[in-house]
Amino acid sequence: MPPMSVFIAFEGIEGCGKTTQVGKAADYLTKRGIPFLCTVEPGGTGVGEELRNILLNKVSLRIHQMTELFLFAADRIQHVEEVILPALRSGTVVLCDRFADATVAYQGYGRELDIDVVRAVNRWASGSATPDMTILIDLPVEVGLERAKNRSVRLETPDDRFERERVEFHRRVRAGYLRLAGEEPDRFRLIDGTRGIDAIHEEIRGHIARLLAR
């Protein structure tokens, strides 16, 4: 198999099933013998892990919305430079659980920051890294939050800063994502996330196979 520098991002609201589908996509690439890397934002680097802890778990910290925007940007700069670009340069498929569209959806539409400012910060933080394909797993907010809630109960983990947000916040995020997908139909693949895990994977696998065949 020749080296493949392909960047695929997975996006969607809380509990949409991204992480599950990144795992299934990784299994598929393993079976095909294609070198890949799974990574995540926030996180994906040592610095990113520290930032993730602040951004998600420090629920008692009052984080200004612009501070939040720049912390996600800082995480992305480190991630792009340390992980994503080196992997792409070495001919590896990168599967990334959230990337820059999450900042537009959450900080732009969710927090209602100026979209032009968010996009400018994003351009600067992402540098030359742009996903070749973005898988957007869409489903009603109530379904995603219910899944996330059940998982928290099962794993006995406390809600993070985003899980504590009101349902209206998550509705704005979902609408923002759908708007982004409408603006860039060539890059986005809109997936109905209300179906079973295997049906969703089959559709995503088809998109990945077609992208790799190009």
Binding residues for ligand Z5A (CB under 6 A): 12, 14-20, 41-42, 56, 72, 98, 102-103, 106-107, 147-148, 151, 160, 162, 196-197, 200
CB of 177 to ligand Z5A, least distance (A): 11
169-to-25, 34, 107, 194, 202 alpha-carbon distances in Å = 29, 38, 10, 20, 31
Q: Which is nearer to ligand Z5A, 1 or 82 (CB)?
A: 82
Beta-bridge mates of residue 38: 95
Cα 193 to its chain centre, rounded Å, is 15
CB of 56 to ligand Z5A, least distance (A): 6
CB of 2 to ligand Z5A, least distance (A): 31
Quickly list H helices, the chain.
Answer: 18-32, 46-52, 65-79, 85-89, 100-103, 115-126, 141-155, 167-183, 197-213
Beta-bridge mates of residue 190: 136
CB of 184 to ligand Z5A, least distance (A): 17
Q: Which is nearer to ligand Z5A, 91 or 152 (CB)?
A: 152
CB of 30 to ligand Z5A, least distance (A): 18
Distance, CA of 55 to CA of 72 (rounded, Å): 8
Distance, CA of 126 to CA of 105 (rounded, Å): 16
Residue with tokens 């190009």: 214
Going 13 to 183 to 87 to 202, the CA torsion angle's sign is positive
CB of 17 to ligand Z5A, least distance (A): 3
Yes or no: say if 41 and 9 are a contact pair by the CB < 8 Å rule.
no
